[in-house]
């Protein structure tokens, strides 16, 4: 099977995070047909392994995500999603096809040292994220992991272009949920109220003051289900927080708790604050990034990228191993990811395979 055929098969049968059963079976069949050793990981993921020359305990991990999104596809591609309301709208089908192509090539052409793992990771799009489940299994114990490499298609970046950002690249992502409990009642009888709507309004404004270059706090959902003349007993608020630094993240979490306590004492309400433990920052290893960028510039077009406020559970690998996450040009007319019309240029698959294979071989040798 060619990597492009592999991609089209995945694209036509997308599955949501933590439900990638048919996807995992298909990947397993394709790897088996190539004679590539592999096993399940994190429920619906697959971990493949190739062993080259030299010390097999030295390992490079190549990671692709495999889950799709709850989006109804509206492209007219011949390989359009057959699963109503589910679509590979983030390009994870491309990532998986690139990884399959790389493993196929390395298996048949060799030329690398140590061990190369091919990790088809489930559930990137959904907290707690498949990466945390993979790592909880400690699959790389007994190995010295010298690099974890991941990529993501980049909408709007020309095919044949690769984008890099050393150091802080993608943000941490924490979901914020608040329930502000007061005392509702007749809206005209204010002295009898502990008005949670006013307290919630102040809470939202104070949270917005935490926004800075290093920190994003946005509120996307506020429910105060009263009426013109009814103040409800409670108000629900939901939002998201992004930072580029784990220390900034810790400080912002403390500030949020302080702000909630202050509005509570001011308005006599009680706020329950739930800050879910989301994805950590993606921080690229400087040395790996420099090596990869240089290699990309020799064979392709390499560009520098700015840090971005979106997030990725790839950050979990960055916490534990030297890691690199780069961007693969998906074409200027691909449309935006997470939309029903996202249609990456499939020629990106060839660039992706070529580059990731070269990088894997180079990294497997560099650390001898
Ligand atoms: Zn996505
Ligand atoms: Zn994605």
- The stretch 51-59 carries a mean pLDDT of 96
- Segment 149-165 shows an average pLDDT of 97
pLDDT in tens, 193-209: 999 999 999 999 999 99
Is the per-residue pLDDT at 367 higher than 60? Answer: no
pLDDT value for 277: 87
125 Cα: distance to centroid of ligand 1 (angstroms): 6
Tell me 209's DSSP state: T
Instruction: Examine the domain organization and report whether 117 and 24 are in the same domain.
Output: yes
pLDDT higher than threshold 50 for residue 18: yes
Residues in the chain: 368
State the CATH number of the domain containing residue 130: 3.40.630.10
DSSP line for 114-150: SEEEEEEE--SSSTT-HHHHHHHT-TTTTSEEEEEEE
**Average pLDDT of the residues of the chain:** 97
Does 124 lie in the same domain as 27? yes
Q: Could you give the CA distance from residue 353 to residue 350 in angstroms, rounded to a whole number?
A: 5
Average pLDDT of 263-283? 96
Q: Which helix (H) or strand (E) holds 206?
A: helix 196-208
162 shares its domain with 305: yes
368 pLDDT above the threshold of 70: no
Please state, in angstroms and as integers, the Cα–Cα distance from residue 238 to each residue in 180, 184, 249, following that order. Answer: 11, 21, 18
Whether residue 296 is found in the same domain as residue 165: yes
Give the distance (Å) from ligand 2 centre to CA of residue 267: 42
The pLDDT assigned to 90 comes to: 98
Do 262 and 285 lie in a common domain? no
CA 80 to centroid of ligand 2, rounded, Å: 18
**Last residue of a domain, which of 252, 275, 298?**
275
CA of 126 to the centre of ligand 1 (A): 9
Rounded distance from Cα 337 to ligand 1 centre (Å): 7
215-237 per-position pLDDT tens digit: 999 999 999 999 999 999 999 99
Give the SS3 label for residue 234.
strand
> Are residues 14 and 143 part of one domain?
yes
**29-40 pLDDT, tens per residue?**
999 999 999 999
**Of 67-71, 140-144, 244-248, which range is least confident?**
244-248
Please tell me the distance between residue 69's alpha carbon and the centre of ligand 1 in angstroms. 8
- 252: exposed, middle or buried (Cβ count in 10 Å: 0-12, 13-18, 19+): buried
Which of 243, 275, 307 is the last residue in one of the domains? 275
Measured in angstroms, how far is the CA atom of residue 338 from the centroid of ligand 1?
A: 6
User: In angstroms, what is the span from residue 31 Cα to ligand 1's centroid?
Assistant: 25
Say if residue 166 is in the same domain as residue 179. no
In angstroms, rounded to a whole number, what is the distance separating the alpha carbons of residues 358 and 10? 25
How far apart (Å, rounded) are the C-alpha atoms in residues 47 and 55?
20
Q: Is 16 in the same domain as 135?
A: yes
User: What total of structural domains would you count in the chain?
Assistant: 2
Residue 90 alpha carbon to ligand 2 centre in Å: 5
**329 strand-pairing partners:** 154
Which residue, of 228, 253, 275, is where some domain finishes?
A: 275
Q: Distance from the CA of 70 to the center of ligand 2, in angstroms? A: 13
Same domain, 232 and 286: no
Shared domain for 126 and 49, answered yes or no, is: yes
The percentage of the chain sitting over the pLDDT mark of 70, rounded to a whole number, equals 99
Tell me, yes or no, whether 201 and 251 share the same domain. yes
pLDDT higher than 60, residue 116: yes
Q: Which ligand is nearest the CA of 65, by number?
A: 2
- State the distance from the centre of ligand 2 to the C-alpha of 326, rounded, in angstroms: 12
CATH code (residue 186): 3.30.70.360
Rounded distance from Cα 129 to ligand 2 centre (Å) = 12
Average pLDDT (52-73) is: 97
Cα 93 to ligand 2 centre (Å): 10
Ligand 2 centroid from CA 237, angstroms: 26
Cβ partners under 8 Å of residue 103, min gap 6? 31, 34, 36, 48, 50, 62, 116, 118
Residues with Cβ within 8 Å of 295's Cβ and at least 6 positions away in sequence, in order, are 355, 358, 359, 362
Of the ligands numbered here, which is closest to the C-alpha atom of 152? 2
Ligand lying closest to the C-alpha of residue 282: 2
Residue 88 shares a structural domain with residue 139: yes
The domain in which residue 135 lies consists of 3-170+281-366
């Amino acid at each position: 099977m060619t990597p492009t055929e592999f991609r089209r098969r995945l694209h036509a049968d997308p599955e949501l995070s933590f439900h990638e059963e048919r996807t995992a079976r298909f990947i397993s069949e394709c790897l088996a047909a190539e004679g590539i050793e592999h096993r399940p990981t994190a429920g619906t993921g697959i971990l493949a392994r190739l062993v080259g020359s030299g010390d097999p305990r030295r390992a490079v991990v190549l990671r692709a995500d495999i889950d799709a999104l709850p989006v109804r596809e509206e492209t007219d591609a011949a390989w359009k999603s057959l699963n109503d309301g589910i679509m590979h709208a983030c390009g994870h089908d491309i990532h998986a096809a690139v990884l399959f192509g790389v493993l196929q090539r390395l298996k048949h052409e060799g030329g690398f040292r140590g061990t190369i793992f091919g990790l088809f990771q489930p559930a990137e799009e959904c907290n707690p994220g498949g990466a945390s489940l993979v790592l909880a299994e400690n699959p790389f114990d007994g190995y010295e992991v010298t690099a974890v490499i991941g990529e993501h298609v980049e909408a709007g970046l020309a095919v044949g272009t690769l984008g890099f950002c050393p150091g802080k690249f993608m943000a941490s992502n924490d979901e914020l949920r608040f329930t502000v409990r007061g005392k509702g009642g007749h809206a005209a009888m204010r002295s009898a109220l502990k008005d949670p709507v006013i307290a919630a309004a102040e809470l939202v404004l104070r949270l917005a003051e935490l926004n800075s270059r290093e920190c994003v706090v946005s509120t996307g959902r506020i429910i105060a289900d009263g009426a013109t003349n009814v103040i409800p007993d409670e108000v629900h608020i939901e939002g998201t927080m992004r930072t580029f630094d784990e220390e900034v993240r810790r400080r912002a979490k403390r500030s949020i708790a302080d702000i909630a306590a202050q509005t509570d004492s001011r308005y006599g309400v009680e706020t329950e604050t739930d800050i879910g433990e989301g994805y950590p920052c993606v921080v690229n290893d400087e040395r790996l990034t420099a090596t990869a960028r240089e290699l990309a510039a020799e064979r392709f077009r390499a560009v520098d990228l700015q840090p971005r406020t979106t997030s990725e559970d790839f950050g979990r690998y960055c916490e534990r191993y030297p890691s690199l996450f780069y961007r693969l040009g998906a074409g200027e007319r691909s449309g935006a990811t997470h939309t029903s019309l996202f249609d990456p240029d499939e020629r990106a698959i060839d660039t992706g395979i070529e580059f990731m294979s070269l990088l894997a071989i180079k990294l497997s040798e560099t650390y001898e």
